[in-house]
Chain A
Amino acid sequence: AQKVTQAQTEISVVEKEDVTLDCVYETRDTTYYLFWYKQPPSGELVFLIRRNSFDEQNEISGRYSWNFQKSTSSFNFTITASQVVDSAVYFCALSEALENGNKLVFGAGTILRVKS
């Protein structure tokens, strides 16, 4: 079965510090998809990025960047120059194929607290 591990339960940083959130996954599929979502205190999961297993290029979007390494089964997320508004719970997820559909398997999440 698929599994996603986010070993960091909680991280606290001071504004403007860089922070990296770790994600390690397990899958037997050769084709798979990885996601990151942000969950602010309001509760809604906000989609950040989707990456398929054939695309190992790192991606940068503003202050956000993602490092995908198949060799270590990791998909880490870095926030550069963190801001208070980045405070949230961040989830890494893996898409798992079902017989007739698919589902997301989530990690336990990492709570990020950015202090001013």
Chain B
Amino acid sequence: DAGVTQSPTHLIKTRGQHVTLRCSPISGHKSVSWYQQVLGQGPQFIFQYYEKEERGRGNFPDRFSARQFPNYSSELNVNALLLGDSALYLCASSQYGQGETQYFGPGTRLLVL
């Protein structure tokens, strides 16, 4: 079975632009979570979605938004990009529930110039 897939793999944007990152979960998984990993740090939680509803949000500004589609894939949108948004964006899929293992995709490396 295919693992978590993300696209694109790399992206270069300039300040003020908008970006959309995409994620397809493992077949059978209905929950998708997004994390931001800045170089040299551990991943930081951005969002969790389950059955197309937001189930959790981390400490990120409103410039960050996401949605989940009926096929459980998800998009992460970031508006008005800042230099500090440069990071590896990781998507994870899981069964829904406390303590369920989250399986991560390869990530999207975003560079904001």
* A binding-site residues for B, Cβ under 8 Å: 4, 31-33, 35, 37, 42-47, 50, 52, 91, 93, 95, 97-109
The answer to whether B48 touches A43 (Cβ under 8 A) is no
Residue of A nearest to B58 (CB): A103
**A37-B104, A43-B106 known; A102 vs B42 contact (CB < 8 Å):** no
Q: When the two chains form their complex, are residues B98 and A102 in contact, meaning their CB atoms are under 8 A apart?
A: yes
A77–B102 Cα distance when bound, in Å, is 19
Q: Report if A106-B43 is in contact (Cβ < 8 Å); known contacts: A95-B98, A98-B48, A100-B56.
A: yes
Inter-chain residue pair count (beta carbon < 8 A):
73
Q: What separation, in Å, do the CA atoms of A33 and B56 have in the docked complex? A: 18
A91-B42, A95-B98, A95-B99 are known contacts. Are A101 and B104 too (CB-CB below 8 A)? no
In the bound assembly, the distance between CA atoms of A22 and B33 in angstroms comes to 26
Q: Please tell me if the beta carbons of B105 and A104 are within 8 angstroms of each other in the complex.
A: no
Cβ-neighbour of A103 out of B45, B88, B97 (below 8 A):
B45
Nearest-neighbor residue (CB-CB) of A6 within chain B:
B42
The answer to whether B107 has its CB under 8 Å from any CB of chain A is yes
Which residue of chain A is the closest to B9 with respect to CB atoms?
A43
